[in-house]
Amino acid sequence: MLDWPEPFILRAFLAAVGLAVIAAPMGCVVVWRRMSYVGETLAQAGLLGVALGLAARIDLTLAVVVAAVVAAGTLVLIGRQRMVPLDSALGLMHHATLSLGIVAIAVAKGPAIDLMSYLFGDVFAVTGSDLVWIYAGGAGVLSLVLYLWTPLLRLSLHDDLAIAEGVDPRLRAAFDLLLAVVIAIAMKIVGILLVMAFLVVPAVAARPASETPERMAILAAAVAILSVVIGLWLSLSSDIPGGPSIVIAMCAIAAISLLAGSRRQR
Amino acid sequence: MSAMQSVRNGRSPTGQMRRGPSPCDCGGHAESEPTGDTLISARDLWLRRGERDIIAGVDLDIRQGEIVTLIGPNGAGKTTLVKLLLGIAKPDRGHVIRPSSTRIGYAPQRFEVDPAIPMTVEGFLRLGTEVSPAAVATALAEVGALRIKRQQLSRLSGGETQRVLIARALLRHPNLLILDEPARGVDFSGEAELYEMIGRLRDRRQLGVLLVSHDLHVVMAKSDRVICLNGHVCCSGKPEDVSQHPEYARIFGAQGALALGVYRHHHDHAHDLTGELKPISDVEAQGRGS
């Protein structure tokens, strides 16, 4: 049986639960503002950050945060052009950063890097300093998102109405930056490919059972924490990767919730 | 072409104020200096997007207690002008004067709430403003929408949505209501009711109202003043005068009842003056997204 709680298991649990709580309200805004693909693009930029961090020999989490934030800033600028739809412009950045990241990692030839560990993450490899990032950085981001909750909600409902009523339109760019920070922090745990699942899937799972936006955020956090517990247990008992197990649990809950919700609507 | 040229000259580097393509005042009405009961004024507004002057030398005043209707074909710059008045967009030239006593209640043209956002009507009315549940109920009753208080915002009909938006605007204790196409997505009888209600609100609260519309006859009856916009102010004045004006006839009458029918039913394109199809207003598309 499991030696509960071994330090690495405890760290994995604390990291994943911390991330779940930070990501839940933010994930709701991502779903409302249809920003899933924006998030995916920022995550790809993180890979470039890993490569640059290795080349510059700086802390990799910091490098990823910087890369994602720069990418978010670029996105804000790209979002202003009206020649092509935003998702096409995002596609450009998405593929550019991914290709550059892979090339840069090949060129950097640092200490043997396991590309897979960045693509998929490893929740059981979380270190003490990762936990500091998650809880210190995450607490900062979470309190900002909660502080900005009402204006973000008003912008999500209708940009022009909110702005006409006095909400600062620059909050949208601020939210992009916060999203970049959360993605960078989360990447170590769940990896580039699955990081947006932590944001989007719990929010989706929470929607059918929510009458108010606040309830949706709280339910999303609850779904995410439950998924962490189920996922880590599955992972440890069946010896399967941790991050994907958590995401599988989330997706199962979301699928059931959506199906139940659509049945109730009829 | 020559009109375009004069517009270019109008934007000379000296920044001198120049009039746009001659606004032909009809019914003897011309925008004069703002008076004491003026709620909002625009002076010589210009806005260019790409090669086109969307707003070309527009002057406008709205006073306490009057209903002003802004009409014009699709792509005439109506929504853009509203955004300039609200301060959502900045003009390239000219300025908007909003006295500090002016409180604007605004209802945007398209308010299609994403079903992913769970929000009741009541929750929406209280969002971001300190209002009591009693005040919410009063505002909803005033627009005849009390029974939908607990409904989800994303499931409302076009007419219900407009009433909720007006209720939200009323909760801000406005003296000026700016309603962008309130009849959008509302059927014919609902439209008449909506304008009745707006008229009652004006009478009861002595509001100034700016209504944007591309539907004509229903609006006309309720308006004190009509401004016909097509980039520039083609003509303005009392409804009966405007409807007699040659510019108005050129824009709305040349294609006769056919044009009217088109404006009423097909909102996905517009006809320019030669009858060519134009895409729906670039302006409206640009206003969306982040």
B113:A158 CB<8 A = yes
Range of the domain at B223: 36-103+196-265
Indicate if the pLDDT at residue B130 is higher than 70.
yes
Of B86, B107, B127, the CB nearest to A150: B127
Instruction: Read off the pLDDT of residues B59-78 as tens digits, 9 standing for 90 and up.
Output: 999 999 999 999 888 888 88
A32:B114 CB<8 A = yes
Output the pLDDT for position A3.
54
**Taking CB atoms and an 8 Å cutoff, what residues of chain A touch B172?**
165
Pick the CATH number of A7-196 from 3.40.1350.10, 1.20.1440.230, 1.10.1840.10, 1.10.3470.10: 1.10.3470.10
Q: How many angstroms away from the CA of A74 is the closest CA of chain B?
A: 13
B87:A164 CB<8 A = yes
- Looking up residue B247, the CATH number of its domain turns out to be 3.40.50.300
Comparison of pLDDT for B31 and A51, the residue scoring more: A51
Into how many domains does chain B fold?
1
Which distant-in-sequence residues (6+ apart) come within 8 Å of B206 by Cβ?
A: B64, B65, B175
Comparison of pLDDT for B284 and A41, the residue scoring more: A41
Could you tell me what percent of chain A has a pLDDT over 90? 52
A164:B108 CB<8 A = yes
The answer as to whether B12 is a domain residue is no
Q: How far is Cα A233 from Cα A144, in angstroms, rounded to an integer?
A: 32
Q: Which residue has the tokens 């439950």?
A: A226
Tokens of B57: 């030398």
Measured between CA atoms, the residue of chain A closest to residue B282 is A82
Lowest mean pLDDT across A14-23, A84-93, B76-85, B149-158? A84-93
Output the pLDDT for position B287.
39
Indicate if the pLDDT at residue B15 is higher than 50.
no
Instruction: Read off the pLDDT of residues A216-259 as tens digits, 9 standing for 90 and up.
Output: 999 999 999 999 999 999 999 999 999 999 999 999 999 999 99
Output the pLDDT for position B216.
67
Measured between CA atoms, the residue of chain B closest to residue A171 is B290
Confidence of residue B267 (pLDDT cuts 50, 70, 90): very low
Mean pLDDT of A80-92: 84
Mean pLDDT (chain B) is 76
The torsion angle over the Cα atoms of residues A131, A133, A136 and A139, rounded to 10 degrees, is -90
Mean pLDDT (chain A) is 89
Indicate if the pLDDT at residue A34 is higher than 70.
yes
Q: Within an 8 Å CB–CB cutoff, is residue A37 touching chain B?
A: no
Output the pLDDT for position B26.
46
**Taking CB atoms and an 8 Å cutoff, what residues of chain B touch A167?**
128
Q: How far is Cα B25 from Cα B49, in angstroms, rounded to an integer?
A: 26
Which distant-in-sequence residues (6+ apart) come within 8 Å of B216 by Cβ?
A: B71, B252, B260
Mutation site, A36, A78, A147, A165, interface B, largest B CB count within 10 A: A165
Could you tell me what percent of chain B has a pLDDT over 70? 71
Mean pLDDT of A204-210: 96
Indicate if the pLDDT at residue A23 is higher than 90.
yes
A156:B117 CB<8 A = yes
Q: How many angstroms away from the CA of A153 is the closest CA of chain B?
A: 9
Instruction: Read off the pLDDT of residues B166-221 as tens digits, 9 standing for 90 and up.
Output: 999 999 999 999 999 888 778 877 888 888 899 999 999 999 999 998 766 666 67
The answer as to whether B19 is a domain residue is no
Of A33, A79, A157, the CB nearest to B119: A157
Indicate if the pLDDT at residue B8 is higher than 50.
no
pTM for the full model? 0.81
Tell me the domain boundaries of chain A.
7-196
> In 3D, which of A163, A186, A170 has the Cα closest to residue A68?
A186
Q: Is A75:A42 a contact under the CB 8 Å cutoff?
A: yes
φ/ψ bin of B215: left (φ > 0), alpha (ψ from -120 to 50), beta (otherwise) = beta
Q: Give the N- to C-terminal CA distance of chain A in Å, as an integer.
A: 46
Indicate if the pLDDT at residue B14 is higher than 80.
no
Lowest mean pLDDT across A111-120, A238-247, B159-168? A111-120
Output the pLDDT for position B51.
84
How high is the ipTM of this complex?
0.86
The answer as to whether B40 is a domain residue is yes
DSSP state of A207: G
Output the pLDDT for position A169.
92
